[in-house]
Amino acid sequence: MSDVKKLRKIGVWGHYHAANLGDNLVVTALIQNIRARCPEAEIIGFSQNPMDTRERHGIPAFPLRWSTRERKADATRADTPGESDGKGWRAPLKSTLKQFPRLFSLLKSLREWFRAVAAIVNEPLFLWKSYRRLHGLDLVIVAGSNPLLDWGTPWSHSYTTFKWAMLARAAGVKFALLSVGAGPISFKLSRFFLRSALRSAHYLSFRDGYSARLVRKRLGLSGSFPVFADMAFSLDFDSALREMEEPEKLPGRAVVGLNLVPFFDDRYWFKGDSAKYRQYLRRLGGFVKWLLDGDYAVVLLYSQLSADPLVNKDFRQILAEDFGVELAERVVEARIDNLEDLVAQIRRCDYIVAGRFHCVLLPFMLGRLSIGLAYHPKTRELLSYLGQPDYAFDIEDFRSESLIDLFRKLERDSSQIRADISTKLPEMSRSLAGQYDQLLGAAPIESEPV
């Protein structure tokens, strides 16, 4: 157990960056809780976008990988000129090259090869600089952001987690993973990387039983692992909400927020499938038509600033194709740049149907109710943790009518669900507070071993 007086410099480490507000929610919660317990400690960020980390969180920051670029905070938005929205020269050029599949594939492979060579050449110097930056730190805390997965390659998240765990060990710095999720873990090399990283960790807990069981099975680690809620539940919203204006109320029977993920979208998904992607959007289109016909207002929400707006654009187009432009124009979408914007939009809603993990989670913290569009076991685990397993909905194989039936059930049972959640949230908050106390210097607390 740590001594608070000795914790003078703490690193907040993770694959967080400007575009993902869910990851930044966890970072915000972690920084808030560190400052509450170690007010004199200096906090240093290690992220994929150090410039954004400095601007968004007000802490000095360094890159997580050599390839990390010092981008402005909004440089990853889909509407940034020259990026994904088709402005500038890159998107039109890419669109033209795609008309020649073999040439496009060759150029893409060459680009990846040059990037790999550049990374290999620059990695030794980057490792040395990172090792030097760790000197003087007392503790590095992993701030969520999927440190235990291999999304198509072992050389991204898995390798990054491994190398920093080893660097911390070499520098004599404690490396702690709090309430982390896990999976998928597919590659043999990833299993080596992650097994080595976790065995060297000073502290390890998981956010759900699925992750703990997966790590035990895939990495061969034995023993019981403590399980706590996601760290986002430790964020104190009270003071922030008092300073926020009441959101504009929309007319209608009730307001439903819809958060779309780029499920099988080949611009984002590791193995895209345009037919599955459009089928998924069309089924959600049927649900939205039912809502609008029933005098509900619909608001599009997003927490991934680069990918999700593109999905919203595709969704509007499909709505117009299937049900007419007039209906598509009735769907409301406000610009979201930061966590405060996302919170404001959620507060406009009564119910949320969400694909992204933290867009399922946040509404419960704000007194709203969610249905989770589950593309990964983490969504089912979250809703089970909250005592609401019935409201995890399979995103891959569903009919509009099934989602409508589940939404009706949510409305019908809303009073009881709110009462259950109001009891559950303080328990989760107290448990997470105990975990921070344990790591940062207070007495050990009980958790749920898995």
Nearest alpha carbon to residue 360 among 284, 443, 312, 301: 301
Distance of CA 85 to the CA centre of its chain: 22
Nearest alpha carbon to residue 211 among 169, 148, 298: 148
When pLDDT is cut at 50, 70 and 90, the band that residue 144 belongs to is confident
Q: Is the pLDDT of residue 205 over 50?
A: yes
Question: Burial level of 274, CB count in 10 A (0-12/13-18/19+)?
Answer: exposed
pTM tops 0.85: yes
Residue pair 237/212 in contact (Cβ under 8 Å)? The answer is no
CATH architecture of structural domain 244-412: 3-Layer(aba) Sandwich (3.40)
Name the fold adopted by 4-78+120-236+429-449. Rossmann fold (3.40.50)
The Cβ of residue 91 has, within 10 Å, a number of other Cβ atoms equal to 15
C-alpha–C-alpha distance, residues 182 and 278, integer Å? 28
- If you average pLDDT over residues 400-420, what whole number do you get? 96
Q: Give 255-304 pLDDT, tens digit per residue.
A: 999 999 999 988 888 778 889 999 999 999 999 999 999 999 999 999 99
Residue of higher predicted confidence among 248 and 381: 381
Q: Is the pLDDT of residue 80 over 50?
A: no
Q: Is the pLDDT of residue 92 over 70?
A: no
- If you average pLDDT over residues 101-115, what whole number do you get? 69
Q: Give 299-336 pLDDT, tens digit per residue.
A: 999 999 989 999 999 999 999 999 998 988 999 999 99
Q: What's at 332, amino acid-wise? A: V
How high does pLDDT run on average in the chain? 87
Element (H, E) at 301: strand 297-301
In sign, the C-alpha dihedral spanning 232, 234, 240, 242 is positive
- If you average pLDDT over residues 357-367, what whole number do you get? 95
Distance of CA 180 to the CA centre of its chain: 11
- Return the minimum-mean-pLDDT range out of 188-197, 205-214, 232-241: 232-241
The sheet carrying 139-142 orders its strands as 61-63, 42-47, 9-13, 139-142, 174-180, 203-206, 226-227, 448-449
- If you average pLDDT over residues 153-159, what whole number do you get? 91
C-alpha–C-alpha distance, residues 153 and 185, integer Å? 10
Q: Give 229-242 pLDDT, tens digit per residue.
A: 999 999 987 766 66
Per-residue tokens: 450: 């898995």
Domain boundaries of the chain, sorted by first residue: 4-78+120-236+429-449, 244-412
Question: How many residues are recorded in the chain?
Answer: 450
Q: Is the pLDDT of residue 113 over 50?
A: yes
pLDDT value for 153: 87
Q: 4-78+120-236+429-449 and 244-412: same fold? A: yes
